[in-house]
A and B are shown apart, each in its own frame.
Chain A
Amino acid sequence: KAGVTQTPRYLIKTRGQQVTLSCSPISGHRSVSWYQQTPGQGLQFLFEYFSETQRNKGNFPGRFSGRQFSNSRSEMNVSTLELGDSALYLCASSSMDGAGYTFGSGTRLTVV
């Protein structure tokens, strides 16, 4: 059974640019959540999508957005990148009630 797949694994962007990260959930999982992980703040919840609808949202500025497609794949977009956006971005998928909550290996974003 394939796990959660995140692409790309590494990304380097310049301040002011935008970036799109992709997450393919485990087959059958319809919930996809995104997290930002930094050494100082730990794991911070960004948002959760279920059946193409945003179900929960964390406390991040509007520059962070996401969407989910009909096949449950999800994308996360960050516009007008700032140096502080450098982090490991993790995606997790699960069934509706949270069963099998599984993380991908993440996308390491570096903003220079």
Chain B
Amino acid sequence: QQQVKQSPQSLIVQKGGISIINCAYENTAFDYFPWYQQFPGKGPALLIAIRPDVSEKKEGRFTISFNKSAKQFSLHIMDSQPGDSATYFCAARVTGNQFYFGTGTSLTVIP
């Protein structure tokens, strides 16, 4: 049973375009929603995170939009660059540091 459902599985975007990755969850006990970026041969690195009492958080070109009633959240990458090409994971946490991850989105930004 996948606790966090992520889509799309892969995404190709032109340089300068907007990349959008979506995630959905069911467990209302989740209290923290991070996004991770992973390059080949590396572990996931925290990109940006949001708590459920906030509807949007922006850090540079990266924005999380959070819809608590719909139990959905999404990552928007503005002005996508080739260096953003990586795998992105959404995640959700229950108390005690147990995280559930989405299945990942492979993003390719074409120059």
Contact = CB atoms under 8 A, between A and B. Distances in A.
A77 interface: no
Interface string B39-58: 00111111000000000000
A35 B100 CA distance: 10
Interface stretch (A12-20, A67-75, A79-87, A94-102): A94-102
B51 to A, nearest CB: 11
A101 B97 CA distance: 9
Nearest to B104: A42
Interface residues of B, number: 21
Interface centre among B34, B44, B97, B103 (most CB of A within 10 A): B97
Contact of A43 (B41, B44, B46, B97): B44
Given A42-B89, A43-B89, A98-B93, A56 B42 contact: no
A31 B46 CA distance: 17
Interface string A86-112: 000010101000100111111000000
A77 B99 CA distance: 21
Nearest to B91: A43
Nearest to B43: A103
B28 interface: no
Contacts of B93: 98
Interface of A: 4, 31, 33, 35, 42-43, 45, 48, 50, 55-56, 58, 90, 92, 94, 98, 101-106
